[in-house]
Amino acid sequence: MINIKIIAKKAIGHACEKKLIFNGNNSDFLAVFVFHEVSDNPSQFILDHCLSSSISTFRTQIEWISENFDIIHPCEILSGKSMGRNQAVITFDDGFAGVFENALPILRDQRVPSIVFLNMQPALERFPLLPAKIAYLSKYSTYFNDFLATKRISKPAFLYASPQLIFEFEDKFGSTDNELILKYQGAFVDMDTLKRWDDSSLVIYGNHLFQHWNVRALSELDLSEQFIMNRAALSQLDNACDFFAFTYGQKGICWNNRDVDFLLSLGAKAVFSSNGRTNSLASSRTLIDRIGLSEQDNTRSLLWFRLRQAVRASYGVVG
Ligand SMILES: [Zn+2]
Q: How far is the CA of 248 from the centre of ligand 1 (A)?
A: 5
Q: How far is the CA of 246 from the centre of ligand 1 (A)?
A: 7
44 located within any domain = yes
Structural domain total, the chain: 1
Q: How far is the CA of 24 from the centre of ligand 1 (A)?
A: 33
Average pLDDT, the chain: 92
266 located within any domain = yes
When pLDDT is averaged across residues 90-98 and rounded to a whole number, the result is 98
Pair 45, 184: CB distance under 8 Å:
yes
- What does the pLDDT look like over 179-210, one tens digit per residue? 999 999 999 999 999 999 999 999 999 999 99
Query: Above 80 in pLDDT, residue 82?
Result: no
Q: How far is the CA of 47 from the centre of ligand 1 (A)?
A: 15
Q: How far is the CA of 81 from the centre of ligand 1 (A)?
A: 28
Range of the domain at 266: 4-314
When pLDDT is averaged across residues 30-56 and rounded to a whole number, the result is 97
Q: How far is the CA of 2 from the centre of ligand 1 (A)?
A: 32
pLDDT computed for residue 81 by the predictor: 65
Query: Above 90 in pLDDT, residue 84?
Result: no
153 located within any domain = yes
pLDDT computed for residue 317 by the predictor: 73
**HEC assignment per residue over the chain:** CCCHHHHHHHHHHHHHHHHHHHHCCCCCEEEEEEECEECCCCCHHHHHCCCEECHHHHHHHHHHHHHHCEECCHHHHHHCCCCCCCEEEEEEEECEHHHHHHHHHHHHHCCCCEEEEECHHHHHHCCCCHHHHHHHHHHHCHHHHHHHHHCCCCCCHHHCCCHHHHHHHHHHHCCCCHHHHHHHHCCECCHHHHHHCCCCCCEEEEECCCCCCCHHHCCHHHHHHHHHHHHHHHCCCCCEEEEEECCCCCECCCECHHHHHHHHHCCCCEEECCCCCCEECCCCCCEECCEECCCCCCCHHHHHHHHHHHHHHHCCCCC
Neighbours of ion ligand 1 (CB under 5 A): 93-94, 247
- What does the pLDDT look like over 110-154, one tens digit per residue? 999 999 999 999 999 989 999 999 999 999 999 999 999 999 998
60 located within any domain = yes
Q: How far is the CA of 101 from the centre of ligand 1 (A)?
A: 18
280 located within any domain = yes
pLDDT computed for residue 26 by the predictor: 52
Q: How far is the CA of 37 from the centre of ligand 1 (A)?
A: 11
**Domain CATH number, residue 268:** 3.20.20.370
104 located within any domain = yes
256 located within any domain = yes
Q: How far is the CA of 23 from the centre of ligand 1 (A)?
A: 33
319 located within any domain = no
